[in-house]
A and B are shown apart, each in its own frame.
Chain A
């Protein structure tokens, strides 16, 4: 680890793009870790730990790549532990608490559907590292999607209570879906150069696949106004600061230490 410091945002669109995907995975892994020992049954503790570990692995590969692209000697831990919340680039979907199992599965369904379309396309990225990470992650998120889909079906078409709770969970998550397709903070040159996937291009396949699962679960696709985007520009909800405070506290209390 280099000398720890609070560092400003980067100026490279390429680095920012990779950081955005890395932070989506890192913050999701952090939220998923909360579930271990709190799941509805033991098998689910194992499954959610698996999913959290996959997401953490994606985050580590992407953060390391962002650090190398940046060329200032920052490694995965410098980027995870020594950036402040305004420098995190994740979408707001992933940063809010998810201590209801229905919410956790609704969010995992959205995230994994989007990630599976994204990583499928990114395998053709002109950035070979991004393409390689995407190829590995594609297999992982296919499993996450299957897992979330199975639960949304069970909860949607289970009991009256679970149907109502699953619908409420979808209603709670849906306003945050549109941000996944927002490209206002992405340099169009990155798409033109074949590095990045145009977020807008994922809207149709992602929403179609989500709608299919929701309807199969006897639920309704929520008709809600999208919340304003901004996560990719470091404009977050108030929840991210607390998540990072917990995640970063120990490391920042011991500057320069090796763990």
Chain B
């Protein structure tokens, strides 16, 4: 995603990050379109909001390793296996840059991981869907990474310097992943009838969850909900969820045509007047249900992550003990 920041409407929303108390230097940088750097003055609420968003983004990268990791062992050719391993490795790398960006705000990666593991912090709801066939590797690359790019390109101009710079690198790699996903689906949709059916099924399952990645509607009557208004005022967010979602749909429909696959929305059609594609209603109750923990794989994703963390505790403790033995002078 994952650079979005939303929760279910009931109960899970963090305390509102009220503005006010904004140092003049901070406001001047924002007015100038400049970058806030870690040592600059910033309101506490801005710092807190960024920590939450960057941590959620980092968590999404590392949880996102699981649905694709699910197919490394079964990739259907050695070339595809290598590409998939490298892709999942890139996601671990994105997690690292993002945890490092969050740490510039005075938090610690270990604490952020604890908050992920005990449920205080979230990750993108999209990774709570299962990867049932090989074609899901294509659909995730094409749709999920495609949606992520639309979300993240504006974050390259986000007001917080370390986050913006991390996004520049992440976006380059995501763009590569998106083309890989497209290429997987292109091969399948031009392959055997069974491969073609596998590709269509994956697109049918991932289309609506991909649209939900942009978050609930936040324009028109919903404009006052969520964090959008405050995040836009602070230069963290540049466009509304709805604008970004529309951009993604407009970009994706012609690509689906090029693939020869259909998108599962009978109301999807070009609107000359708006200059955009119209689409059918999005069932946000499903999104909120998944965010609340009732998605198809929420428990499995967390159990996998917490299991890896706990199984590795003895290794991390040993590394620390070894380092401490080797550096007595540095400690003294």
Tell me whether A251 is interfacial, beta carbon within 8 Å. yes
| A33 engages B85 (CB within 8 Å) | yes
**A to B contact number (C-beta, < 8 Å):** 144
How many chain B residues touch the partner (CB < 8 A)?
47
| A42 engages B92 (CB within 8 Å) | yes
User: Which B residues are CB-close (under 8 A) to A37?
Assistant: 62, 65-66, 69, 88, 92, 304, 308
* A233 CB, nearest partner CB in chain B, Å: 24
Once A33-B73, A36-B88 are accepted as A-B contacts, the answer to whether A254 and B317 lie under 8 Å apart by CB is no
Q: Complex: how many Å from CA A207 to CA B99? A: 41
User: Which A residues are CB-close (under 8 A) to B86?
Assistant: 49, 53
How many chain A residues touch the partner (CB < 8 A)?
51
Tell me whether A153 is interfacial, beta carbon within 8 Å. yes
User: Which B residues are CB-close (under 8 A) to A161?
Assistant: 314, 317-318
Once A36-B88, A60-B82, A158-B321 are accepted as A-B contacts, the answer to whether A41 and B74 lie under 8 Å apart by CB is no
Q: Complex: how many Å from CA A157 to CA B326? A: 10
| B89 engages A49 (CB within 8 Å) | yes
Among the stretches A141-149, A174-182, A194-202, A242-250, the one at the interface with B is A242-250
B198 to chain A: closest residue by CB: A254
| A36 engages B78 (CB within 8 Å) | no
| B312 engages A39 (CB within 8 Å) | yes
| A154 engages B319 (CB within 8 Å) | yes
Tell me whether B21 is interfacial, beta carbon within 8 Å. no
Tell me whether B217 is interfacial, beta carbon within 8 Å. no
| B92 engages A49 (CB within 8 Å) | yes
| A246 engages B308 (CB within 8 Å) | no
Taking Cβ atoms with an 8 Å cutoff, the residues of B that contact A are: 62, 65-66, 69, 72-82, 85-86, 88-89, 92-93, 95-96, 99, 134, 187, 191-192, 194-195, 304, 307-308, 311-323, 325
Q: 7 other contacts beyond A41-B312, A162-B318, with CB at 8 A cut-off? A: A37-B66, A41-B316, A42-B99, A46-B96, A165-B314, A246-B74, A259-B76
